Amino acid sequence: MDTEKIECLIIGSGPAGYTAAIYASRAGLKPVLYQGPQPGGQLTITTDVENYPGYPDGIGGPEMMMDFEKQARRFGADIRYGLATAVEFTPNGHKITIDEKYVIEAEAVIISTGASAKWLGLPGEERLNGKGVSACAVCDGFFFRGQDVVVVGAGDTAAEEASYLAKLCRKVYVLVRRDEMRASKIMQKRLMSLTNVEILWNTETTELVGENELEAVQVINNVTGAESTIQATGFFVAIGHKPNTEIFKEYLDMDASGYIQTVKGSTYTNVPGVFACGDAQDNIYRQAVTAAGTGCMAALDAERYLAEKTMMAEEQEIS
Ligand code: NDP
């Protein structure tokens, strides 16, 4: 396989990866960044971002990620389309296979692979994916204009997806498995003010009905046991995310959910020269601004690590 030797590799292209690329390129590390399966990350499938400082009027997620990318390119970051498909972290260097056919040997690796939407695991969920089942209202909501849809979840994502769909659809049912929502008060208030949104409390999905297209959703009230059918053509799952860290699990310390563990107050992992930032290592805050913050930290940590390594090598040469 063709091999390329570089100083600093960044895997992933959300706010963490792009921020790491901005800092690493300004520090002269000539970073190469592989964008992964979804260039720009999760923000490219969101609507307006209203809580990122510096955008007083809010900004579209995809637009914001284009700005991040542009800024990283401005300082010379080498941004490429491609997937890290395997890794080998050793004390003598780190090898990362790209698209199963190209190897990057990097002295420092910054992991910013983010997280992906979780699914319920219902029979038919996979079969009907793209045929009524979706995890992204912004991507697919358009196809359900004027129709009745269901959103599952009770966090900010569910509230945001349901509010977005309410603008397009005739009716939006939100299935909440407990008797309260986890979403922030402001998002809940916004959701509850929408006249075509109905929240079904203590409600879980038991079945997705439909062979080639979703036709209805069977639900159960987990307090009363009452079962009912919702006639809906769209089913949007918004129940949180899992970190995209599978390929690193042989080498890196992780928690039970797969979030990479870093040394407190830094982005150092248990492997020297490998740093983790953004949602791949954060199961608490998961915000664009915190991801960007840890991306900055990862580039600074990588810079220090590489400088120390160079210094040690020079000292060894002298002695
Ligand atoms: P969360 O983990 O916050 O919420 C997931 C929700 O899904 C919970 O309410 C949970 O229910 C529910 N859920 C989980 N599994 C199931 C299941 N099997 N069946 C039914 N319901 C289930 O994830 P989010 O993606 O909503 O948010 C992640 C982070 O991103 C949060 O910090 C959030 O604040 C942030 N965010 C911010 C936004 C913004 O500010 N614009 C927009 C979107 C997200 P339960 O409560 O019962 O556990």
Q: Does 319 have pLDDT greater than 80?
A: no
- Nearest atom in ligand 1 to the alpha carbon of residue 120 is 18
All domains of the chain in start order, with CATH = 2-116+241-318 (3.50.50.60), 133-237 (3.50.50.60)
- Looking at residue 285, its pLDDT comes to 87
- Cβ atoms of 199 and 187 within 8 Å: the answer is no
- Nearest atom in ligand 1 to the alpha carbon of residue 51 is 40
Residue 181 CA to ligand 1 centre (angstroms): 9
- Looking at residue 269, its pLDDT comes to 98
Confidence class for position 49, pLDDT limits 50, 70, 90: confident
Collect all residues with Cβ–Cβ distance below 8 Å to 39 and sequence separation of at least 6: 13, 65, 69, 81
Higher-pLDDT residue of 217, 319 = 217
Annotated catalytic residues are 136, 139-140
- Looking at residue 14, its pLDDT comes to 97
Q: What are residue 175's DSSP bridge partners?
A: 152, 200
Write the residue with the smallest CA distance to atom 23 of ligand 1: 240
- Looking at residue 286, its pLDDT comes to 82
CB environment 151-170: b (16+ within 10 A), e (fewer): bbbbbbbbbbbbbbbbebbe
Whole-prediction pTM: 0.78
- Cβ atoms of 29 and 306 within 8 Å: the answer is yes
Q: Does 45 have pLDDT greater than 80?
A: no
Confidence class for position 140, pLDDT limits 50, 70, 90: confident
Q: Quick check: CB of 153 below 6 Å from ligand 1? A: yes
Mean of the per-residue pLDDT values of the chain: 95
- Looking at residue 260, its pLDDT comes to 98
Q: Does 129 have pLDDT greater than 80?
A: yes
- Cβ atoms of 217 and 207 within 8 Å: the answer is yes
- Looking at residue 318, its pLDDT comes to 83
Q: Quick check: CB of 178 below 6 Å from ligand 1? A: yes
Q: Quick check: CB of 177 below 6 Å from ligand 1? A: yes
Confidence class for position 302, pLDDT limits 50, 70, 90: very high
Q: Which of 182, 191, 236 to mutate to test the pocket of ligand 1 (most atoms within 8 A of CB)?
A: 182
Q: Which residue has the tokens 């009745």?
A: 148
